[in-house]
Chain A
C-alpha cells in the first residue's frame, strides 16, 4: 500500500446524546483509532437536553477515553462565554498530559438565553460579542500554556530549587470583562499548546479561526449539492487569506491552518461508504479542503461503515496512511510544536542587554 506524501486528515464526531456510560465512547474512539483517524471530537454546550436526552461534559468523556486509546487525538468542545479562562486552560493542559500529547480544543460560545440563565451571571451576548470574547479567551489560554517554559522544572538539589522561577511567567492579560494574572497552575503540556479548532462556518467565528485556530471546520449541509464543494473551497481560501493577514503561513509549518470540510454522514450500506470515499477523493484531489470531519447520523452504524468501508478504499487508493507516523495530535496534523513566546522574549532581552 503506497503511503501518501501529503496526508489527508480525517476526523469524526463521537456525539451520542443520551449515553452516560464510558464504554460506548471508549469503543467508538478505539474504532476510530483503528481507522487511523487523526482525531475524534465531542460537542458540548450548557443548553438544555434535547428530546429528553442529556449529555456529559465533553472534556470529561475524552479524559476518560484517553488511557483507553494510544494514538488518536481527543478534541472536546469547551465553551468560553460563561466559563473561567483559567480553568479552561488548566483542564485542556491536563487532558494533554493525561493523553500524552493528544489533546485539542474546539472553541465554542454560548449565545442562548437558556445557557445564560443556568449561570445567572450575565445576559447572553450576541454572536459577534461572544466571539470577540472567545478570541480573547483563546489568546489568554494559549498564553497560560506558554507561561511555563518547557525546561522550567530543574530540581536543583544544591540550591534547593524545584523550578527556575525566571522560566515561569505572569501573563497579565486584560480581556473584555476579565483579566488573568497567571502563571498557569499546570506545567506546559506535552504539545506545548493543545491543538485549537474552531467551527468557522458562522461569520462571527471566522476572525477567531483565522487568528488562533490550527484547525477550522467548514460545515456542509448537503455534500451532494453541486455547489457544496465550491462553497468549502471559497471558505478555505478566505480563511487562509485572513490567516496570512495575521502574519501566519497557513500552508507552511509555522502558522499552518488545516481546513476540514465537516460533513453529515448517514451510511446505510457498503455502497454508501464507497460513495463517500469517492467524494473525499474528488474533493481532496481538487484541493477543496485539507481533510474532513464526519458527523455521523447514527454513531454506531456510520462509524463502523466509515472505518470498514470508506477508510480501506482511501488507503487502497494511496490517499490515506495505514499507520500513525507520530504520537501526538500535532504530529498527525503536521503542525509544528509551537515555540514558547515568553522564552523568545527573554532571549531577545538578554541579547539586547549583552
Chain B
C-alpha cells in the first residue's frame, strides 16, 4: 500500500517584481516589520513548511536610471528572519543569500545562528550572481564567469557544511567541543575554529533556485529543496523526472530533494468570479508604464513615444541595446518580439494587452475547491512535491488561501493537519544530515 502523498507549502513575501501590486488600496508597507509578521503568522496558522525571502543587492536600473515602477527596496533577509523567529514557533525561515558576494565563514555562522535562535527552522536559498553591475556594491566587485558561479557556489556550500560539522558532538547532547578546520580549495582557502556548535538541524536546509543545466546538477548534488517555475503540468513532470533522476548518481534517494515550484493563485466564489479577479490583478500588475518598460526590455530601444493602448512597434529589436540592468533578460529579443507580434495580430491586442497576455498569468485560478484539486493533481502526478506561493498583495495576500484552501487540502488528505515536529527538516521529512567530522 502506498501512503497518500502530501504537499509542502511555503509563503514567498511579495517582492520587487511587477507581480506585487502596490497600487491596490489594500497594499501595505513593503518594509515595516508588521507586514512580515502578518504574512509569517498567517503562514504559520496555515501550517506552512516555511516562509521565504528573496534578496536584492543592487537596485535595478532601466535606461540608466533607477527603475521606479515596481516595489523598490527591501530589508536584509537573515535579520528579518531572526526577528520573525520571535513571533512564530514552527514556521521554517528561508533566506536567499548570494554565494558570490559573501564568504563561507561569515555566512555559515549567520545561518547557524539563525538555526539556533529559531530552534531549528533555518533555510538558505543559495543563489549566484555574475554581473559586474551588482559587483559595484562589493569589495570583490568584478565579474565571475558563468561556469565559475556554480563551482564557487558548490564549494561554498561544501565549506559551510564542513564548518557546521566541525564541532565534535557530545554524547550527552551537550554542545560538544570545537575543533579546528582546514579547507583548501579552488575558491576558498580558510582555516581556524568555528565558534558556533552544531545547530538543531545539523545543517540548515539548503534550497537551490534556477532551472539551468548547472543549477539542476548542483541541486541534485547538494540541495534539499529546488525552487523552480513551471507553468504546466507537463513541463513540471518533465523537470521533476529529470532532477529526481540525477540524484542516484550522488547516492541520494528521490525523496531527499523536494521540488517546489513558485506559483500564484486567484480565488473566487465561482470560477467566473475568480477569472474576473485574475484579469483585474493582471491589469494592476501591468500598468501602462510597465507595459512600455517591458517592451523596452525586449526591444532594447526607447519606446516611450508609443501608446500603450496602441499597436506594437514595427521597428525591430536592437540586440545590443541593453537598457535594463539588474534583472534577467526575457530571452532572445528577436524570437520574443516575433512571438509577441504574432500574439498581438492574432488576437488584435494593444501593447499593454499583449504584455499582460504574454508575461504570465496566474498559476491557479478558481474556486477554493478547484484550486485545491488542481494543486493536489500537480503533486500526485509528480510535477511537484509542493509549492512556494507568491501572493500579489502585502501583507494580506495569503489570508484567503489559508482560510479557504488549506482546510480543503487537509480534507483531501493532501496536506498536514498539524506540524508533527518542530524543525524545518521535520516538516519537509528530511533526515538529519550525517555528521562528517
Contact = CB atoms under 8 A, between A and B. Distances in A.
A245 interface: no
Contacts of B136: 179-181
Most buried by A among B59, B84, B119, B196: B59
A97 B33 contact: yes
A64 B85 contact: yes
Task: Indicate the size class of the contact surface on chain A.
Answer: 35 or more
Contact of A84 (B87, B102, B195, B288): B102
Contact of A60 (B23, B110, B192): B110
Q: Classify the interface of chain B: helix, strand, loop or mixed.
A: loop
A117 B180 CA distance: 12
A26 B82 CA distance: 13
Contacts of A97: 31-33, 75
B137 A98 contact: no
A228 B380 CA distance: 73
Contacts of A120: 188-191
13 contacts: A20-B175, A20-B196, A20-B197, A47-B195, A61-B117, A67-B87, A83-B106, A86-B138, A94-B75, A119-B105, A163-B72, A181-B58, A185-B57
B153 to A, nearest CB: 17
Given A84-B102, A90-B76, A160-B290, A187 B31 contact: yes
A177 interface: yes
A326 interface: no
A57 B191 CA distance: 19
B403 to A, nearest CB: 24
Nearest 5 A/B pairs, CB to CB: A160-B289, A63-B82, A48-B193, A54-B195, A181-B136
Given A22-B86, A64-B86, A91-B78, A56 B31 contact: no
Nearest to A62: B82
Given A87-B102, A155-B23, A160-B290, A54 B196 contact: yes
A56 B115 CA distance: 10
B80 A98 contact: yes
A178 B139 contact: yes
A145 to B, nearest CB: 13
A148 interface: yes
A160 B286 CA distance: 10
Contact of A117 (B31, B68, B110, B191): B191
Contacts of B106: 46, 82-83, 119
A170 to B, nearest CB: 9
Contacts of B196: 20, 54-56
Given A54-B178, A95-B79, A164 B68 contact: yes
B138 A84 contact: yes
A309 to B, nearest CB: 29
B86 A186 contact: no
Interface residues of B, number: 66
A121 B138 CA distance: 14
A168 B75 contact: no
B69 A118 contact: no
Nearest to B74: A185
A269 interface: no
Interface in A148-191: 148, 153, 155, 157, 159-165, 168, 177-187
Given A48-B193, A56-B117, A57-B110, A162 B72 contact: yes
B175 A63 contact: no
B71 interface: yes
Interface in A260-305: none
Interface in B36-91: 37, 56-59, 65-66, 68-76, 78-80, 82-87
B113 interface: yes
Interface string B121-148: 0000000000000001111010000000
B192 A65 contact: no
Nearest to A113: B192
A91 B69 contact: no
B109 interface: yes
A187 to B, nearest CB: 5
Contacts of A67: 33, 37, 83-84, 86-87
Contacts of A251: none
Given A66-B86, A95-B79, A179-B141, A100 B33 contact: yes
A141 B328 CA distance: 28
B380 to A, nearest CB: 39
B71 A162 contact: yes
